[in-house]
Amino acid sequence: QNRGRTLLGYRDLIGTPRGQRTYGYVFVNSIFHSGVFTWLGVYFEQRYGLGPVGIGVALLGYGIPGFLFGPLIGRAADRWGRARLLPIGLGLGALGAATLIFNGPLILAIVAVTVLSLGYDMTQPLFGGIVTALGGKRPGQAMGLNVFALFAGFGVGSLLFGEALRLGFGMALGIFVMVQALATALSIGWFSAEVPVNRVNS
């Protein structure tokens, strides 16, 4: 009986267009970010000849946006809604990865990694907010499914990017950027209803 209720709970979570969109984007977005980030160490070694310490320093930028701008992003979502921020965040992720395709100076690549991180910080937490709303009386189950989609995407993303590397870093990044750009364009319409409650009622 408990198992049946659990299965019904999952059906309810992914049985609506909003649930399908949200969990689908959690999965796809995590594939993108994991695929790119997992292989950044190899990228910096091959492109710029960095060693372990240099790679670590270059990747420090990935944690800065969330630390500095996390509260600001949350307030912006409350004020303007996720409908505005999600496409921007998805687009920033694509822009950061696209910049890495070109053989620019090292500082540009480091900035691109920071932009990539900002894209993640403007998407995944906001998807988590939608998941919380979807959960209703089952917040734990809703978030559990979110975590499953997130970490499944992490694994798949690393695997797919590694396979795409057979074509070279530029091509692998290009493929991931194109998919993320498509997700960005589609998100404008698909998440247009994610606005603050006060705007819905006004």
**Residue 10 lies inside a defined structural domain of this protein:** no
- The pTM of the full predicted model, rounded to 2 decimals, is 0.91
User: Residue 5: its pLDDT value, please?
Assistant: 79
**Residue range(s) defining the domain that contains residue 47:** 19-189
The CATH number of the domain holding residue 77 is 1.20.1250.20
**pLDDT, tens digit (0-9, with 9 covering 90-100), for 79-131:** 888 999 999 999 999 999 999 999 899 999 999 999 999 999 999 999 999 99
**Residue 46 lies inside a defined structural domain of this protein:** yes
Neighbours of 177 (CB within 10 A): 21
**Residue 13 lies inside a defined structural domain of this protein:** no
Sign of CA dihedral 118, 58, 182, 152: negative
**Residue 1 lies inside a defined structural domain of this protein:** no
**Residue 30 lies inside a defined structural domain of this protein:** yes
* 20-24, 164-168, 185-189, 191-195: range with lowest mean pLDDT: 191-195
Number of domains in the chain: 1
**Residue 3 lies inside a defined structural domain of this protein:** no
